[in-house]
């Protein structure tokens, strides 16, 4: 029985093409201590199964129906319960894991095993040198600009924080207590909803010393004529609305509606009328309590 079950979700990428799989599989082959601490589950959401390396590390599962990230994480949660793992580690296919990060994870999985108040252990996720995760809720960041989140410290964080999934290690029992990953958030805002629920249930977030580089996967402003990009934005806006209704404070919900209306005006002034319409419809849906 390993302390950690790590899940890597692939989409249209072979294990060997995934920086995450390559780094993690090499570490598991070369580091006996790490191999005794962590098992690997690779779940492939690609339309077709990928060619596997001859020395495949971990278990590989393929399902071309691509039911969404939340269902995959819940599958991994069931696997973790079945094998008796205490922690579930979430990894994107392009998360640049390091030896230092993996070693720290294993140390913390053991040292925090009986610290039930710690629901999750998370690294600092970096983009262009800045810390993207964890971060304060948007309203708190704007209202208290002089009191930005101190990410120089290591240990249990104070107050509400927003966290991204990538590289996060979550206590299996804490996930079970909240009913698993919320499948209403099949992709966008799944991380925010999951960590909000963990904290609302009394779980603490432990900040690691380790940092990881991280690329964002979101709607890209400016590609206004791209149908795929437009569909992604529509999904993202619906998930964002749901999140603020289910987990946001009254102030955050008001702020969110105003932000949507402001962005609709900006897009209209830029003559991106389809995008402006999506923002405006989201603002109206938020007022009406729709998804």
- Give, in order, the Cα–Cα distances in Å from 227 to each of 76, 108, 231: 32, 44, 6
- For strand 204-213 and strand 169-171, is the pairing parallel, antiparallel, or unpaired? unpaired
Q: Looking at the whole model, is its pTM more than 0.85?
A: yes
pLDDT of residue 226: 55
What does the alpha-carbon distance between residue 287 and residue 253 come to, in Å, rounded to a whole number?
A: 9
- Asked if the model's pLDDT at residue 145 lies above 50, the reply is no
The tens digit of pLDDT for each residue in 170-226 reads 999 999 999 999 999 988 999 999 999 999 999 999 999 999 988 766 544 444 445
Nearest residue to 238 (alpha-carbon basis) of 181, 283, 180: 283
- Mean pLDDT value across residues 38-43: 96
Question: How much is the mean pLDDT over the chain?
Answer: 89
pLDDT of residue 220: 46
Query: Which residues touch 284 (CB under 8 Å, ≥6 apart)?
Result: none
pLDDT of residue 66: 84
The tens digit of pLDDT for each residue in 111-125 reads 999 999 999 999 999
Of 94 and 41, the one with more pLDDT: 41
- Asked if the model's pLDDT at residue 74 lies above 60, the reply is yes
- Mean pLDDT value across residues 25-35: 95
Please compute, for residue 236, the number of CA atoms within 13 A of its CA located in the half-sphere on the CB side: 15
For tokens 């990060």, what's the residue?
101
Please state whether 177 falls in left (phi above 0), alpha (psi between -120 and 50) or beta: alpha
Sketch out the chain's domains with CATH numbers: 4-213 (3.90.550.10), 227-288 (no CATH)
């Amino acid at each position: 029985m390993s302390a950690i079950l790590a899940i890597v979700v692939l989409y249209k990428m072979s294990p060997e093409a995934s920086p995450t799989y390559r780094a993690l599989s090499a570490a598991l082959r070369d580091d006996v201590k790490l191999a005794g601490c962590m098992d690997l589950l690779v779940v492939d959401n690609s339309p077709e199964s990928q060619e596997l390396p001859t020395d495949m590390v971990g278990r590989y599962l393929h399902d071309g129906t691509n039911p969404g990230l939340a269902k995959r994480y819940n599958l991994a949660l069931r696997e973790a319960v079945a094998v008796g793992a205490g922690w579930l580690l979430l990894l994107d296919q392009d998360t640049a894991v390091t030896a230092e990060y993996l070693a720290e994870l294993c140390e913390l999985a053991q040292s925090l095993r009986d610290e039930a108040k710690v629901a999750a252990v998370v690294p600092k996720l970096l983009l262009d040198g800045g810390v993207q995760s964890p971060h304060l809720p948007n309203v708190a960041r704007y209202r208290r600009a002089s009191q930005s989140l101190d990410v120089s410290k290591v240990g249990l964080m104070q107050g509400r924080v927003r966290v991204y999934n990538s590289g996060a290690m979550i206590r299996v029992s804490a996930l079970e207590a909240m009913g698993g990953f919320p499948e209403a958030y099949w992709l966008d805002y799944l991380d925010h909803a999951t960590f909000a629920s963990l904290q609302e249930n009394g779980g603490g977030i432990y900040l690691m010393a380790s940092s990881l580089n991280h690329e964002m996967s979101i709607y890209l402003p400016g590609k206004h004529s791209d149908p795929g990009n437009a569909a992604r934005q529509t999904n993202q806006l619906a998930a964002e609305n749901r999140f603020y209704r289910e987990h946001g404070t009254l102030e955050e919900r008001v702020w969110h509606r105003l932000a949507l209306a402001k962005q609709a005006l900006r897009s209209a002034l830029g003559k991106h009328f389809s995008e402006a319409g999506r923002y405006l419809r989201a603002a109206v849906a938020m007022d009406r309590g729709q998804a």
